[in-house]
Structure formats: C-alpha cells, structure tokens
Structure 1
Amino acid sequence: MSGKKRGLGRGLDALLGAGARPTPPATGNGQEQPGDGVLKELPVDLIQRGKYQPRRDIEPESLQDLADSIKAQGVMQPIVVRPISDSRYEIIAGERRWRATQLAGLHSIPTIVRDVPDEAAIAMALIENIQREDLNPIEEAAALQRLQQEFELTQQEVADAIGKSRSTVANLLRLMSLREDVRRLVEHGDLEMGHARALLALEGEHQSQAARTVVARGLSVRQTEALVRKLLEQGQNPQPDQTEPRLDPNIRSLQDDLSQRLGTRVEIRHGAAGKGKLVLSYSSLDELDGILSHIK
C-alpha cells in the first residue's frame, strides 16, 4: 500500500473530514452546505455509475418498488456525486436511487456534489453504501475487505468507521474465504449468512457439495450445522484435491480489484501457458452500460 493510503490508519476523519457525515436532507437547489458540498438538482443523464460502487446486483423487483415510490413521493434523500469533468458527475453513494429515478421517468435528481480525490471517494462510497444501502452479505463483505485493504485498517478501525461491532465485521470478512461458487449462492440469496458461516468449516469441493445439498434440500441453518458436523466426524473433509488448481493469489487479487473497480463480478481464467479469459458478469443492460462507461 502506498504511504498516502496508510494515512487513513491514523483515522478516517483525517481524510474524509465532513465527507463521512450523514448526507443532509434536500433543502433547495445549488445551496452551499458547509463541509458537506453543494446541494443541487442535476439531470440524470449527466451522472454515471461510480467505479467504487460495492453493489454488484440490484434486484429488478426492488428497483421497481423504489421507482414507484419515487414517482409518487419524489426522491427523499439526495444522492452523493463528485465532478469528473466540466459537465459530468460520478456517483459516490445512491446508485439505486439514481437508477430508480430513471425508471420512474424523471429527468433530474437531487444531489450533494462533493469535490473529493479518488482516495476519499473510495472511502466515502464504501462507508456510505455499507451504512445506507441494502447490500447482500457478499457485497458487504467485499466492500469491507476493500476498505480494510485499501487503507490498511484493522478490523476494529473498520468497525468504528461503519458503526458496527468488530465481531460483525470479522464474521462478514470470513465470508470472503468461501469458494467462489458458494459465494455466488450467498450473493443470490440461496444461502443465508448462517448457512455460510457453518460451511466455512469445510474445505475445497466438500464445501461446494455441502452447499449444493443445503440448497437442494432447503436445509435450515441448524440442519446445515448438523450436516457439517456429520461430515467432519466422518472424515469427509480431507485437504482439497491437489488435482483441482487453486487460483494464484496474484490473479485472485487482480480479479477482486477489477470486480471492485468495474462494480461487477469478474472472473479471470488463467491458463498455464499464459493465455486465458476475462469474464464479466452483468444482470441488466443498465449494469452493462455502467461497466462499459468505466472501460471506455
């Protein structure tokens, strides 16, 4: 990590200042909010998806519900953006509200404009989204991991920054050690966090097989814990099969970094000869547009 990022270890407030404080309610257009940026109404087409957005998937049903609410009552909470050119803005927090506003047919949205550098934008996006948005456990865990790694924070410092207990942060971070296929089941809601915590006791393909069994049988968390205990007692958790190649730590780090920067799941299939494939996942055309805006 660079020295300037490590500066966050001395306290997030040193970098963020007032930026990490809750966003004030909308009170007008173009009004200065001391220490908090400028409050104004911006056209939705001048705003683009934030590259530090921890959310990967937004369920169409929940997005439509929010759009219906916005159509009836308007946007109750401004989104937070930063200028990236003379006429365009990038979202720091509030992508779901921005998407729902477009779905509702509105052409503008109340925003708080904060002119902040990349490092502050990373911290603000992660912290505000973790605190404000309904992230699934894997999205939240990935966001916490990035916050910890980007700024070399302890689990306690991460916990203090987002207003959660250290044990909650520790349990979420443990989810990142799940196998990729098991993480996807948690991310898509097929497994709950309790299931995932139980499955962490298993390794390799045994973890994946147990996860598939839990989903297929619709096992409860208690039943999953019993299944894991049974497998461990029967010695069905040997060391992972060495014939199944593990992802190189450098490739995994690059994969995770690309996932965070593009705001979507990224898979790098790296072959022994140096060739491979880069696979990007998206769940809607809007999400694809957001990915492409970061690549162009």
Structure 2
Amino acid sequence: MKSNDFPGNKRNRTMVGLRQPEPIPGANSSVVRRSTARADMLKNAGINNEATPEDVPTIKPLEGEWLSGKSALSDIPVANIVQSKYQPRMVFDEKAIDELATSIQAIGLGKPILVRPLPEGKYELIGGERRWRSVKLLGWTTIQALVREMSDGVAMLLALTDNNQEDLSDYELGRSYHRILENGEEQSQRALARRLGVNVSTVSRCLSLMQLSEKIRSLLDTNPTLITGNYAKRFLEFSKTHLELVETTVISMAKDGVQQEAALRHIEKAIAAATKFPASAKVTGIGFEGLGKLKIVGSRVEFKCMKGINPELLSQHFEKLLRSLDPAKVVESSD
C-alpha cells in the first residue's frame, strides 16, 4: 500500500497543528493605535476627546528654575549679599581672586553661589565667596545664586562642603569641624566624617590644631598654613612641658618664615640643652640623719627623702627657711 507521505503524492493536505500566520496590518493600523492612545491620554487629562491638536493647551516652563519647595535659582543684587560667620576660609588670595575674575569675565560664572534669605531683602553668603568677590571686582550688579532656606547647622555644613572643592588649610578645616561639633550638629568625629564624606582620621588630625594654645591659634588665625595637622601632635607634646618655648618658636615661624620641621628640631635641641648637665658639673651630697640626703648638681639643689619622711611637710619647712633667709648671705662671692 502506497504511503500518503510519499513525496510524489499529489494530494492536497493541510498539516495539522501549524499556526496560520497573522495578516500583515494595514498601513493605517499604527495611526489608529496612536490615535487611540492619544485619546486615552487626553481623556485622563480631562480634555475633550474630540478636541483638535490646536485645542490642546501648551505646557509652559516655570518662571525661574525651582529646585525644591525652599530653593530657587535666580539673579540677586550683589550689594544685598552679606558675608557669613560660618565661612571656613580665613585668608583670601587677592591674586587668585583677580585670576578668577578674569576667567569669569571671559567665560561667565560656571557655578552659582549659595545663599540663604535674610530679612529686608538681604542674603547671607553660604558658599562661593571667591566668586562673589570676583564679580564685585568686575562691577557686576547681580549674580546668579541658589537661594535656599536652611538652619544654622545646615549652613555650617554647606559652607564647609562648598569650600572643600577649593583648597582649605588643616586649621581652617579644624575650626569648622570644631564649630559643627560644638553646635551639636553632629555628635562625634566619626559621624561628622561620614556626613562630609571624609576619613575620620582627617577630621581628628585637623581638630588636633584646636588644642594648641590660644597664643598659637591667634597666629594661625592670620596665617592658617603655618602648622599642618601632620605636625600638630608634636607641637602639642612639646607644649605640655615647654609651652613658652613652643610659642616663641611659632612666633619666629610666622615672622621669619621658619618651616615646621626646622622649628621642631630647634625645640628639641633647646629642650635637650636645658635638661642636659655638663660632664664637668660638680656633684656633691650631704646626708642628714633621719631625713635624707641633700644633693648639689651644678646649679641645682636636690633633696632625697628617707623612707617615712613626708616630702610635702619637709618642703614646708624648707619654704619657711628660705623665706627667712637673707639673699645677700648666699650670693656667690666675686673674690
């Protein structure tokens, strides 16, 4: 019996299970779909589906570039801007300001300044003081600014982060870090470092400068690059025992341009010279039964108490003796 599957079989058969191809959509099908989608969109927007394209209202841009409910980008009068007490930068390089003014004059202001509104149409400058100084130099009457309402704590942080894009000294950073922590905006150095996106060791190193004496910090106020965070610890260690020497040395650094390494070497040598006795220094000792031994080393007089003797009580007797003593009787003879 001949198989019906034989290739030579001329019988017309439809193969069972094969899907018939979908008809090719007509040229107007996509138009219909777009029209339907557009009609649905207009319906959802509350616009009559029968409206023509000319009837659809045009969406206009907002007046001003509003960035949030409490921020706006606009041109404000340069004369209405006041400097912020939270500005971390303490010294402004006039030459750098001139160069920035030249750049702004040539290509325009690349980044708006950051301000917060004050009463009577004034604005507090939070970020961009170098740009503000430059446009004042150019004689501009207005400047583009991001006007943003913010608390004092946020103003501190934003003033610091804005200036982080431009080099700040370790002392300037340390002052700002200290202010933020004192204000309670952040509770720890680690939390502050995390919020600013810096290493906690950087925060700690810069804060160490704030532990220097008031006299040294007053010098850093006018010359913030005088001492860096990397050397602050060594200056602090020497200050614990030889504060006057350290302060005198830092004054010479500011006056004569002495570098940190040279200053620290000078301090080390001065301390060594003050505590080292000459090999030829005469050393004598006198024993006092029941009390201890009196020792003379060069120009120093030492007394070593015996066991059981109260040094404080003994020193009181020494004090009475010395107060009753006529200095003329112990002056070295010139003969």
Q: Would you call these one fold, judging by a TM-score over 0.5?
A: yes
1:145 aligned to 178, 182, 186, which one? 178
Query: C-alpha separation between the residues in 2 aligned to 1:185 and 1:29?
Result: 49
Asked whether the equivalents of residues 31 and 38 of structure 1 are also in contact (C-alpha less than 8 Å), the reply is yes
- 1:49 maps to 2:83: yes
The aligned amino acid for 2:74 is K
Measured after TM superposition, the shift of residue 215 of structure 1 is 5.2
Measured after TM superposition, the shift of residue 31 of structure 1 is 0.2
2:234 aligned to 191, 198, 207, which one? 198
Query: C-alpha separation between the residues in 2 aligned to 1:216 and 1:87?
Result: 44
Identify the residue that residue 158 of structure 1 maps to in structure 2: 192
SS at match of 1:210: helix
Query: C-alpha separation between the residues in 2 aligned to 1:55 and 1:220?
Result: 22
- CA 1:102–1:214 in structure 2 vs 1: closer, same or farther (change >3 Å)? closer
Measured after TM superposition, the shift of residue 135 of structure 1 is 2.8
Measured after TM superposition, the shift of residue 154 of structure 1 is 0.8
Identify the residue that residue 98 of structure 1 maps to in structure 2: 132
The aligned amino acid for 2:214 is E
Asked whether the equivalents of residues 77 and 142 of structure 2 are also in contact (C-alpha less than 8 Å), the reply is yes
Query: C-alpha separation between the residues in 2 aligned to 1:47 and 1:83?
Result: 9
- CA 1:40–1:56 in structure 2 vs 1: closer, same or farther (change >3 Å)? same
2:97 aligned to 36, 56, 63, which one? 63
- 1:110 maps to 2:149: no
- CA 1:167–1:105 in structure 2 vs 1: closer, same or farther (change >3 Å)? same
Asked whether the equivalents of residues 33 and 39 of structure 1 are also in contact (C-alpha less than 8 Å), the reply is yes
Query: C-alpha separation between the residues in 2 aligned to 1:93 and 1:29?
Result: 24
Query: C-alpha separation between the residues in 1 aligned to 2:156 and 2:224?
Result: 26
Identify the residue that residue 242 of structure 1 maps to in structure 2: none
Larger proportion of helix: 1
Unaligned runs of 5+ residues in structure 1 are: 1-27, 237-296
RMSD: 2.8
Query: C-alpha separation between the residues in 2 aligned to 1:217 and 1:88?
Result: 43
Query: C-alpha separation between the residues in 1 aligned to 2:267 and 2:194?
Result: 33
1:31 aligned to 46, 65, 72, which one? 65
Report the structure number with the largest CA radius of gyration.
2
- CA 1:200–1:29 in structure 2 vs 1: closer, same or farther (change >3 Å)? farther
- CA 1:74–1:185 in structure 2 vs 1: closer, same or farther (change >3 Å)? same
1:177 aligned to 211, 225, 241, which one? 211
Deviations along 1:232-278, one digit per CA (max 9) or x if unpaired, are 44457xxxxxxxxxxxxxxxxxxxxxxxxxxxxxxxxxxxxxxxxxx
Measured after TM superposition, the shift of residue 57 of structure 1 is 2.7
Asked whether the equivalents of residues 115 and 146 of structure 2 are also in contact (C-alpha less than 8 Å), the reply is yes
The aligned amino acid for 2:78 is V
Asked whether the equivalents of residues 199 and 211 of structure 1 are also in contact (C-alpha less than 8 Å), the reply is no
TM-score by length of 2: 0.55
* Larger mean Cα displacement after TM superposition, 209-218 or 161-170: 209-218
Asked whether the equivalents of residues 142 and 176 of structure 1 are also in contact (C-alpha less than 8 Å), the reply is yes
- CA 1:73–1:198 in structure 2 vs 1: closer, same or farther (change >3 Å)? farther
% same residue = 32
TM-score by length of 1: 0.61
- CA 1:188–1:219 in structure 2 vs 1: closer, same or farther (change >3 Å)? closer
Asked whether the equivalents of residues 32 and 39 of structure 1 are also in contact (C-alpha less than 8 Å), the reply is yes
Query: C-alpha separation between the residues in 2 aligned to 1:189 and 1:116?
Result: 28
Identify the residue that residue 263 of structure 2 maps to in structure 1: 224
Larger relative contact order (C-alpha < 8 A, sep ≥ 6)? 1
The aligned amino acid for 2:175 is A
Measured after TM superposition, the shift of residue 216 of structure 1 is 6.1
Query: C-alpha separation between the residues in 2 aligned to 1:35 and 1:133?
Result: 29
